[in-house]
Amino acid sequence: MRLAGKVAIVTGGGSGFGEGIVRKFVTEGALVVLMDRDEAAAARVAAEAGENVRPITGDVSTLGSFEAAADLARSAFGGLDILVNNAGVAQPPLALETMDEEMFDRIANVNMRSIYNGARAVVAHFKSIKSGAILNV
Distance CA 103, CA 109 (A): 10
As a whole number, mean pLDDT of residues 71-90 equals 97
Q: Assess if residue 65 is contained within a domain.
A: yes
Q: How far apart are the first and last CA of the chain?
A: 17
Which pLDDT tens digit goes with each residue over 13-64? Answer: 999 999 999 999 999 999 999 999 999 999 999 999 999 999 999 999 999 9
Whole-prediction pTM value? Answer: 0.94
Q: Assess if residue 96 is contained within a domain.
A: yes
Report pLDDT for 96.
Answer: 84
List of residues 6+ apart from 27 with CB closer than 8 A: none
Ranges of beta strands (E only) in the chain are: 7-11, 31-36, 53-57, 82-85, 133-136
Report pLDDT for 89.
Answer: 92
Q: Assess if residue 2 is contained within a domain.
A: no
Q: Assess if residue 130 is contained within a domain.
A: yes
Q: What is the mean pLDDT of the chain?
A: 96
Q: Which residue range(s) make up the domain with 113?
A: 7-136
DSSP 98: G
The amino acid occupying position 95 is: A
pLDDT band at 8 (very low <50, low <70, confident <90, very high): very high
* Sign of the CA dihedral running 75, 79, 85, 86: negative
Distance CA 82, CA 24 (A): 14
Report pLDDT for 1.
Answer: 63
Q: What is the CATH number of the domain that holds 73?
A: 3.40.50.720
Query: How many domains is the chain partitioned into structurally?
Result: 1
Q: Assess if residue 56 is contained within a domain.
A: yes
Q: Assess if residue 1 is contained within a domain.
A: no
Which pLDDT tens digit goes with each residue over 95-112? Answer: 888 889 999 999 999 999
Q: Assess if residue 113 is contained within a domain.
A: yes
Q: Assess if residue 81 is contained within a domain.
A: yes
- pLDDT exceeds 90 at position 79: yes
Which pLDDT tens digit goes with each residue over 108-132? Answer: 999 999 999 999 999 999 999 999 9
